[in-house]
Amino acid sequence: MDFSHKAVEKKWQKFWEQNQTFKTTNNNDKKAYILDMFPYPSGAGLHVGHPRGYTATDIISRMRRMQGYDVLHPIGWDAFGLPAEQYALKTGNDPREFTSQNIKVFKKQLQTLGFSFDYNKEINTSDPNYYKITQWIFQKMYENGLAETREADVNWCEELGTVLANEEVLNQNGKMVSEVGGFPVIKKPMKQWVLKITKYADRLLEGLDKLDWPSSVKELQKNWIGKSEGLEIKFQVKSSSDHINVFTTRGDTIFGVSYLVLAPEHNQVLKITTDQQKKAVEQYIQETRTKTDIDRQDDSKPKTGVFTGAFGINPVNQELLPIYIADYVLKDYGSGAVMAVPAHDPRDWEFAQKYQLPIKFVQQSKTNDKPFVGESPLINSDFLNKLNPKKALEVIAKHLKDKKIAESKINFKLRDWLFSRQRFYGEPFPLLFLEDGSIALVPESELPVQLPKIDYIKPSGTGESPLVNAKEWVNTTFNGKQARRETNTMPQWAGSCWYYLAYILTTSPNNFVEINSKEAFELFRKWLPVDLYIGGQEHAVLHLLYARFWHQVLFDLKIVPTAEPFQKLLNQGMILGENGEKMSKSKGNVINPDEIVDSHGADTLRVYEMFMGPIDAALPWSFKGLDGSRKWLDRVYRLIAKKTINAKNNKNLDFIYNETVAKVSQMIEDMKYNTAISQMMVFVNAANKEDEIYKPYAEGFVQLLSPFAPHLAEELWELLGHKESISSSKWPQSDATKMQKNTSIIAIQINGKLRATIEVELGTSEQELLKKAKSEENIVSHLKDKQILKEIVVVDKIVNLVIK
C-alpha cells in the first residue's frame, strides 16, 4: 500500500499554484525573510547539489508560516553572464532568448521539487525594469564620489575579447587562463570604471562582528580586506633624487634589511633600472603578466627575480641595498615594495639564498640555519639592542618620524573594485561622454539605458566591448551636444549586489516599488535584515562583500534602515559523487534531479538530502540511502493510511510524541535536519507498535513532516479529514507535563559486569526487579550451574548478582 509520488506531487503542486498558498503576507508582527543565493540559469539546469540548500531554506520557511510569521521566501535569476554571451557568439542567437529558455527549465525543475517560493516575487537581473534600479544605484555612487574611471591592470583574455574578474581566472601550471574555455589571460593596463569599496574597508571589517555567520567566512572576509598597521619608510635611491616608499609592519627589524624588492609592475621599476639590466628586467615583467596573483603568493613555489642594477640606502645605517624585482611582491598590496629581512622571513630567506644576498640576524636565535620568526630581544641593531620587538617598534617609529623618513600608515589588501566588462550582455552604464571630455549622467527620467538589439556582437578586436559596433546606439546627444555612450557593461555582480532588496520591492514579477520612496523604506523596515541566507561557500568573499558594500552605501543614502543586509548565513556542503569525488560532466558522475524525482519522488529527494548528514558537510551521494528514504516515506504513508486513528488517547505515545515535537522543532531551529528526521523515525517506530494512534498525535506528526516532505504531508493531512492546506495549520506544541518518563532503564550486572538492561515502571519493587532480571535470556545463561552469593538491588537503577 505505497503511495504514488507522481500523482500526489502533481495534485498538490497544482493546488499550491491555484490557491497562491505561498504568497507573501503582511499580517503579523513576526517576520521571516528566508533567502537562497539565486541561481544563474545555465543551459545544464539543476544538479542534485542545488536542492540541498533550497530544501534547507524551504523547511524553515514552511515551519515559520505555521508558527504565524509573515514569510518572504522568494526566487529569481542571476541572468546576465558570460556563458550566455559565449553562446550568442558561437551560435549567432540572442543571449536574451537563450537565457529566457534556461529560466523556464530551471523554474519548472524548482516547481517539481515543491519549494514554497512566492513566484509573484520572481525577478530577473537582465530585465530592463530590474537593471533600471541597478543603473540608478550606480548613478548615486557616481554622484557621491564612489565611482570613477581609472587606468588599471586588468585580466585581459584576447580570445574572449574581454576583461575577466579574478574569480573568472584559473591557475593552470602557474599561468593565467580563463575559466570559460581555458584561454590565455595576461595583465594589461586599461581605462576602467572602479567602485571605491576601499572607502568602506573599516566598516566592512567592523560589521562582521555583529553577524551570525560561520567563523570561517568571517575569517575569509577579514583576510580579503586585510587590515594591517605599520610604517611607510622612505629608502633613498643611490645617485638619484628618487626614493622608494616601503610599507612594513616590522620596522623594528630595519637593521636586518639586506635588499629591497619591488613588484614587477611598480611604476618606478623602469625608471631606476640601469641600461645593463633593462633587457632582463623587461623580459621578467612580461613573464610575470601571465602569472596569477594566487600563484605568485604561493609559498611552495620557487622564488624568482631580477636585479635592477640600482641600489637603495638604508636610512638607519646608510648601507647600500641592491634593488630587485620579484613576482612574490604584488603591486596592489602595501606600496608594492618590500624591505627584505631574510633572517626573519621565510620568503626573503629563500630569495637571499638563491641570489647569494646577505643574511643578518637582528633577533636572538638559537640557530642560524633557518629564519627566526618568533619573539626575542633585538641584536645587531645599534640603539634597538636588547629591546623586545614591541618596544623596538615604538623607538624606531619615533626615530624615523622625527627625521621625516617615515609615517604611520594603515594598509588594506582590499583593492577598489574593477567594475567594467568588455561585454555585450550586461547592464549598460547610465552615463555619457561629452565632446569636452566631461561625463554626464543619463537623466533619471530616461532610465533604463537599454541594450540595443543588434545582430553583430562579435568582439571588437580593439579591447572594447562589442557594443562599439552599435553605432546608432553609441552616438547620441545630450542637451543638444554630441555625446557617446559607455560601451563597457557592468559585471554580473552588479545585479546580485541588491537582488535581496528587489524581492522586497517586487509587486509582480519584475515590477517594483520606486526604491527611493517612503513606501520602499517602510517595506525595507518590515523585512530587513534577511533572517537566514543559505548558499555555497564559493561566494563567501566576493558576492557577500560586494553586497555588504552596496548595502552600506544605500544605508548612508537613507534608502535602507539597516547597516547590514544578511543577519544569519549558512553555507551548505557540497554533494559529491558516490566515489567521494566532486561531481562533474567530465567524470560522468553528475546526477540529474529530474530523474530522481521521476523514479523516487521529490519528497524522497528532499528527505534524503536532509538526512545525509549535517547541512554544512560535504557528503557523497548514495543510491542505497535514497532507496532507504523512499522506504521510510512509504512506511509513514502506511502508518497514517492503515492504522486506526482514534479520537481517544490511550496515553501510550504521550512521551514519545511530545518529545518528538519538542526535539524536531528545536532541531529545525538549529538546522540539524538529519537528526530531526532521525527523531521522526523514532516516533514512527513507536507508533507502528500500537494498534491505534491518537488523532492529534497523528496530525502533529504529519505537521512536523510537512516541511521535509510537503506533498506527502498534504496528502496525509487530507486523509485525516482536513480541507485546507497543511501550510495554514498551526505548528504543533509539546506538552512538558507529558515528557516526564514513568519508566526507567535498569542495568543488570553479574559480578559488576553489565549483562542486560530492562525497562520497567518507576518504583518497581526489589522482588519484582529480581524476578524480571533472572528471567532475561542472557542472565539465565550466565546463572546456569552457578551459585548466587549475593543479590544487590537499587530500585529504579540497578540489579547486581554476585555469583560463584
Q: What is the secondary structure of 456-516 as a DSSP string?
A: --S--SSSS-GGGG-HHHHEEEETTEEEEE---B--THHHHTSHHHHHHHEEETTEE--TT
Residue 392 has pLDDT above 70, yes or no: yes
Q: What does each C-alpha distance from 532 to 56, 212, 667, 669 come to in angstroms?
A: 10, 9, 15, 11
Q: At what angle do helices 673-688 and 654-669 cross, to 10 degrees?
A: 170
Query: What domains lie within the chain, and their CATH numbers?
Result: 137-196+416-485 (no CATH), 228-411 (3.90.740.10), 602-609+622-738 (1.10.730.10), 743-803 (3.10.20.590)
Query: How many angstroms separate the CA atoms of 354 and 305, rounded?
Result: 10
Query: Looking at this protein, which amino acid is placed at residue 73?
Result: H
pLDDT for 1: 61
Query: Looking at this protein, which amino acid is placed at residue 455?
Result: D
Q: Are 148 and 192 in contact (CB under 8 A)?
A: no
Q: Are 589 and 577 in contact (CB under 8 A)?
A: yes
Please compute the mean of the pLDDT values over residues 299-309 and round it to a whole number. 91
C-alpha cell belonging to residue 94: 540572442
Query: Looking at this protein, which amino acid is placed at residue 66?
Result: M
Query: How many angstroms separate the CA atoms of 504 and 229, rounded?
Result: 40
pLDDT for 738: 87
Q: What is the pLDDT of residues 593-623, one digit of tens each?
A: 999 999 999 999 999 999 999 999 999 999 9
Residue percentage of the chain with pLDDT more than 90 = 77
CA-nearest of 219, 226, 220 to 201 is 226
Q: Are 470 and 493 in contact (CB under 8 A)?
A: no
**3-state class of 324 per DSSP?**
strand
Residue 43 has pLDDT above 80, yes or no: no
Q: What is the pLDDT of residues 234-291, one digit of tens each?
A: 999 999 999 999 999 999 999 999 999 999 999 999 999 999 999 999 999 999 988 8
Asked if the bond preceding 448 is cis, omega within 30° of 0, the reply is: yes
Query: How many angstroms separate the CA atoms of 372 and 104, rounded?
Result: 61
Query: How many angstroms separate the CA atoms of 667 and 672, rounded?
Result: 5
CA dihedral sign of residues 180, 487, 546, 498: negative
pLDDT for 49: 86
For cell 530523474, the residue is 595
Residue 33 has pLDDT above 80, yes or no: yes
Query: How many angstroms separate the CA atoms of 134 and 140, rounded?
Result: 10
Spatial CB neighbours of 355, under 8 Å, sequence gap ≥ 6? 305, 307, 324
Query: How many angstroms separate the CA atoms of 718 and 713, rounded?
Result: 9
Backbone dihedral angles phi then psi of residue 433, each to the nearest 5 degrees: -100, 125
Range with top average pLDDT, 285-299, 546-560, 577-591: 546-560
Range with top average pLDDT, 162-176, 455-469, 631-645, 780-794: 631-645
Q: How far apart are the first and last CA of the chain?
A: 55
Q: Are 305 and 284 in contact (CB under 8 A)?
A: yes
For cell 537562497, the residue is 36
Q: Are 148 and 87 in contact (CB under 8 A)?
A: no
- Averaged pLDDT of the chain: 93
Q: Angle CA(415)–CA(418)–CA(421) in degrees, nearest 5? A: 160
The verdict on whether residue 585 carries a ligand-binding annotation is: yes
Higher-confidence position of 211 and 82: 211
Query: How many angstroms separate the CA atoms of 86 and 89, rounded?
Result: 5
Query: How many angstroms separate the CA atoms of 186 and 446, rounded?
Result: 38
Query: How many angstroms separate the CA atoms of 730 and 661, rounded?
Result: 13
Query: How many angstroms separate the CA atoms of 746 and 222, rounded?
Result: 54
At 188, the pLDDT band (50, 70, 90 cuts) reads confident
pTM, full prediction: 0.86
C-alpha cell belonging to residue 688: 507502528
Sheet with 417-418, strands from edge to edge, namely 162-164, 147-157, 186-195, 417-418
Burial class (CB in 10 A: 0-12, 13-18, 19+), 657: buried
**Within 13 A of 5's CA, how many CA atoms are on the CB side?**
20
pLDDT for 334: 81
At 461, the pLDDT band (50, 70, 90 cuts) reads low
Please compute the mean of the pLDDT values over residues 566-578 and round it to a whole number. 94
Residue percentage of the chain with pLDDT more than 70 = 99
Q: Lowest-confidence range among 74-88, 128-142, 453-467, 557-571?
A: 453-467
- DSSP string of 13-81? HHHHHHHTTT------S-EEEEEEPPPP--TT---TTHHHHHHHHHHHHHHHHHTT-EEE---EE----
Query: How many angstroms separate the CA atoms of 615 and 266, rounded?
Result: 46
CA-nearest of 457, 504, 426 to 126 is 426
CA-nearest of 722, 715, 549, 628 to 202 is 549
Backbone dihedral angles phi then psi of residue 749, each to the nearest 5 degrees: -115, 150
Query: Looking at this protein, which amino acid is placed at residue 537?
Result: Q
* Bridge partners of residue 792, in order along the sequence: 800
Residue 31 has pLDDT above 90, yes or no: yes
At 319, the pLDDT band (50, 70, 90 cuts) reads very high
Query: How many angstroms separate the CA atoms of 150 and 700, rounded?
Result: 62
Residue 650 has pLDDT above 90, yes or no: yes
Q: Is 748 left (phi over 0), alpha (psi -120 to 50) or beta?
A: beta
At 301, the pLDDT band (50, 70, 90 cuts) reads confident
Residue 459 has pLDDT above 70, yes or no: no
Residue 541 has pLDDT above 80, yes or no: yes
Which ranges in 71-117 belong to alpha helices (H)?
82-91, 95-112
Backbone dihedral angles phi then psi of residue 517, each to the nearest 5 degrees: -140, 160
* Bridge partners of residue 620, in order along the sequence: 576
Q: What does each C-alpha distance from 50 to 113, 218, 503, 581 come to in angstroms?
A: 11, 24, 20, 17
Q: Lowest-confidence range among 33-47, 273-287, 304-318?
A: 33-47
Spatial CB neighbours of 209, under 8 Å, sequence gap ≥ 6? none
- For 126-153, letters b (16+ CB in 10 Å) and e give bbbebbbbbbbbbbbbbeeebbeeeebb
Q: What is the pLDDT of residues 657-708, one digit of tens each?
A: 999 999 999 999 999 999 999 999 999 999 999 999 999 999 999 999 999 9
